[in-house]
Structure 1
Amino acid sequence: MVIDPVARRTDGESVRIAKDVLSGGAVLKLCLPEGPEEFARALMRRGARRPVVIGDDRTLLRAVSVLHRQRELAGCVLSVVPVGGVVSLAQSLGVPTGVVAAARSVLDGVERRLDLLVDDSDGVVLGTLRIPPASPHGAPAGVTAVPAGAGHPWLRTCQSLVRTLVARPPRTANGSGPARLRVEVDGTTVVDLDQPVETVTVTPEGSGRAAVEIRPLSGPGAEASPLLARGRTVTVSGADFRYRADAVVSGPVRTRTWRVRENAWRLVLPAPAR
């Protein structure tokens, strides 16, 4: 069992509960790494033991990335108990977010083979890739949310300005607004540089293909229909852009290609109800 140091510091009680549940049903070897290098070494020295990681989405992503770089991902069955601030990725994959339920699924669950995306810099995406990266609260990066303030004309003016920015944020090269990008799926151009886009999302859908959704830029009050595509390879190019892959923001880059790896990794999830 590899416990992320952030999880130990921020929610030691949940870590203790997970350890008690797991030790009641299995023989554990406890690893308490203090940083990324020690975390990687703990995984690589697992021997025949099945690794269980305790931490948030970044911990899960770090474990998969380490095993992928060492070319040991396909031969490893991974389990996770979500503990920490952001666990939406683990939840989207089917892992229970309750500590007790997640620990019990480690003991009694079944392994599932899952797809992932691998980019041309050897980075991995388990859940959703998004361009431009969303802020932690879901608003476009670089736009500040303003609370409601009825009765204050100056604040209503600010709110009006923010709504305008959200509808048509500036075209910048730092990933904070719409951009002119070329998006190709399996070699076919879905959108080209002449059409500004607000968002591009790419998600492995479990069939050896990725689902791609592109939302063209629309004016205030207008709704542009999203462009949808599916394929094994997605290439995005154009002006410098940033992207969020699961819990990590990367870039800026001029071009990046993601390829679907079918059944690339194995995760223990709750057994289906009978």
Structure 2
Amino acid sequence: MAEVATSRTFSATSDQLLVVIDPVARRTDGESVRIAKDVIGAGAASAKVCLPDGPEEFARALARRGSRRPVVIGDDRALARAVTLLHRQRELADCALSLVPVGGAVSLARSLGVPTGAVAAARAVLDGAERRMDLLVDDSDGVVLGALRIPPLGGTARVREADGGAGRPWLRTCRSLVRTLVPARPSGSVSAPEAGPTRLRVEVDGEMLVDLGQPVEGVSVVPGASGTAQIEVRPASVGAEASPLLAEGRTVTVSGAHFRYRADAVVSGPVGTRTWVVREGAWGLTVPAR
């Protein structure tokens, strides 16, 4: 989310680091992992390296870090996992997190100001500055670092396929891939509507932005000014494209038909209602000193 004032810089000679190397990074780009580890090891006063095999070991490594500053070598998912764990341990406010982006999905890291090259990112770990940023926290203790998006339900896609899918086999291929990637709904769970546009109620700081009577194509929540988020609701339309509904606020509640949502790179749901609150300056990330 939005950044606030940088609070401190780091010294390679005084910092003790815990370097947690995500297993996905080790499998996808071992060379970049090796380079980052060598640069950090050569420049830090003390660096303990952990090689967790899965999420549970990843969580244990962070929980047992002691006074060491955590450094994650991994992709956007690894960063989001680390922030989520520190938030749930209620240790995020006093912890400056560092990241060396390694893997295929690093667009979030780039947007937050972290270099995507292994050497530059490792040097920022050693000599960078902490940048405090806002965090979007939901009522199930989930977090959003960058963007929150609620996509349309299956009914809207079917209407569009009937209208213009003929002769576009690539479109059917993309939809097939999406169906493969989205987690299957557990047996016995409430089914989302299969026909018609998405119908959601969206409230911003207690004020109604859109109600269930107005079908929507989707909802997005992205960083705004410090301490706020920008909300955009795209109404469903027939013929001419409808203008988006825009708002800015600190609290966003979405309810109505059971919906899935994408928080950064992770898809969650379905849920019937969810509230997100902006927490100003809630977490710190090390970026190159200016």
Same fold, TM exceeding 0.5?
yes
Q: Report the CA distance between 1:175 and its aligned residue.
A: 9.2
- Residue 41 and residue 175 in structure 1: after superposition, are their counterparts in 2 closer, same or farther (change >3 A)? farther
Once the two structures are superposed, what CA deviation does each residue of 1:72-114 show, in whole Å capped at 9, x if it has no partner?
Answer: 0001010000001211111111111111111111112110110
- Contact 1:110–1:271 (CA under 8 A) maintained in structure 2: yes
- Residue 248 and residue 156 in structure 1: after superposition, are their counterparts in 2 closer, same or farther (change >3 A)? closer
Q: What value does the CA root-mean-square deviation take over the aligned residues?
A: 2.8
TM-score (structure 2 length as normaliser): 0.80
1:43 is aligned to 2:62: yes
1:9 is aligned to 2:9: no
| Runs of 4+, deviation exceeding 2 Å | 140-145, 155-163, 172-178
Gaps of at least 5 residues in structure 1 are 135-139, 146-154, 167-171
- Contact 1:116–1:204 (CA under 8 A) maintained in structure 2: no
Q: Report the CA distance between 1:268 and its aligned residue.
A: 0.4
2:255 paired residue among 237, 251, 259:
237
Gaps of at least 5 residues in structure 2 are 1-18, 176-190
1:270 maps to: 288
- Residue 242 and residue 102 in structure 1: after superposition, are their counterparts in 2 closer, same or farther (change >3 A)? same
- Residue 215 and residue 10 in structure 1: after superposition, are their counterparts in 2 closer, same or farther (change >3 A)? same
1:65 maps to: 84
CA–CA separation in structure 1 for the residues paired with 2:276 and 2:20: 29
List aligned pairs for 1:1-274, cutoff 5 A: 1-26=19-44, 27-132=46-151, 157-159=166-168, 173=192, 178-220=197-239, 222-272=240-290
SS at match of 1:183: strand
SS at match of 1:84: coil
Once the two structures are superposed, what CA deviation does each residue of 1:213-262 show, in whole Å capped at 9, x if it has no partner?
Answer: 11111224x22111110111000001010000011100001100000111
- Residue 204 and residue 144 in structure 1: after superposition, are their counterparts in 2 closer, same or farther (change >3 A)? same
CA–CA separation in structure 2 for the residues paired with 1:195 and 1:53: 43
CA–CA separation in structure 2 for the residues paired with 1:34 and 1:175: 39
SS at match of 1:158: coil
Q: Report the CA distance between 1:206 and its aligned residue.
A: 4.9
Once the two structures are superposed, what CA deviation does each residue of 1:170-208 show, in whole Å capped at 9, x if it has no partner?
Answer: xx9369984010100000000111111111001233511
Once the two structures are superposed, what CA deviation does each residue of 1:2-31 show, in whole Å capped at 9, x if it has no partner?
Answer: 000111111110100101111121121100
CA–CA separation in structure 1 for the residues paired with 2:67 and 2:23: 24
- Contact 1:57–1:90 (CA under 8 A) maintained in structure 2: yes
State the AA in 1 paired with 2:269. Answer: G
1:148 maps to: none
- Residue 133 and residue 249 in structure 1: after superposition, are their counterparts in 2 closer, same or farther (change >3 A)? farther
- Residue 143 and residue 156 in structure 1: after superposition, are their counterparts in 2 closer, same or farther (change >3 A)? closer
Percent same amino acid among aligned pairs? Answer: 73
State the AA in 2 paired with 1:124. Answer: V
